[in-house]
Amino acid sequence: MTATTGPDHGVPHRMGKITPLAFALTVGAAAFVLVSFNHVGLSWEKILGGGPGLARLVSQMFPPDLSRLTPVLVSLLETFQMAVVGTVLGIAFSLPLAVMASAKHAPHPLLRIGFRGLIAFFRTVPDLIWALVFVIAVGLGPAAGTLAIMIDTIGFCARFFAEAMEEADDGPQEALTAMGAGRTGILFSAVYPQVIPSFIATGLFALEKATRSSVVLGLVGAGGIGIELKVAMDFFSYDLACMIIISIFILVLMVEQASGWLRARVL
């Protein structure tokens, strides 16, 4: 009697064969991480040695100083206004840039590459650098911070808007093309209706991001609560700094909760 071979119940194959190049890159990456740990000088001695200084700082922060609550709240409102206006402007400019950066909708591949590069440039440069640029261009104050948030929002939103447009269903677009619809008609009738939920979600995430970013822009003179925090720290008014930090935390938390509530209701 011939024995029959049963089904293979071995462990499923999960990894392909590692090539010499992949092995070398993995070893190189691991070595770089280890060297980086050594280069930054982080050690348990330094961490534990900083404990007393941290405890002294925390003791000087409490109880928070409420003597400047009103001007701090005014600056906090200015910070949120910068975030809102910068986000709205950034989203508005992101829509046409996303069309030009989309593989399906850009008029020419070279234009797509160019606009992709521009969006990546906006996203790569830190918002503090943009704030410095606009402080030089338009002067100190919230206008510089708003423009910096706008550019940062364009870099964030335009990328995701373009990707959402590329993932839209081709069926309605092909049907409209067969009927003789133009590029603009296809965008507004077949593409945008599909991707509006994604646009809303991305825009709300951008507002959360802008709210957190706008806090630190005041450190370079671009308006908002950051300048209040910098002055408090410079004058060693840690109790006042604590009150400002708590106010910032409450603002960011409220924006995140409101954003999450809107996403749950709209999407």
Q: Kindly report, residue by residue over 62-81, the tens digit of the pLDDT.
A: 888 888 888 889 988 989 99
Mean pLDDT of the chain: 83
What sign does the dihedral 93-94-99-100 (CA atoms) show?
Answer: positive
Task: Grade residue 219 by pLDDT with cuts at 50, 70 and 90.
Answer: confident
pLDDT score recorded for residue 152: 92
- What is the rounded distance in angstroms from the CA atom of residue 258 to the CA atom of residue 199? 17
- What is the rounded distance in angstroms from the CA atom of residue 92 to the CA atom of residue 151? 11
Percent share of the chain, pLDDT over 70: 90
pLDDT score recorded for residue 1: 46
What angle, 0 to 180 degrees and rounded to 10, lies between the N-to-C axes of helices 109-124 and 142-166? 140
Q: Which CATH code for domain 69-266?
A: 1.10.3720.10
- What is the rounded distance in angstroms from the CA atom of residue 244 to the CA atom of residue 70? 11
Q: Is the pLDDT of residue 135 over 80?
A: yes
- Domain ranges in the chain are 20-61, 69-266
Q: Is the pLDDT of residue 151 over 90?
A: yes
Q: Which two three-digit tokens encode residue 143?
A: 């206008």
DSSP character at residue 40: T
What angle, 0 to 180 degrees and rounded to 10, lies between the N-to-C axes of helices 127-138 and 142-166? 130
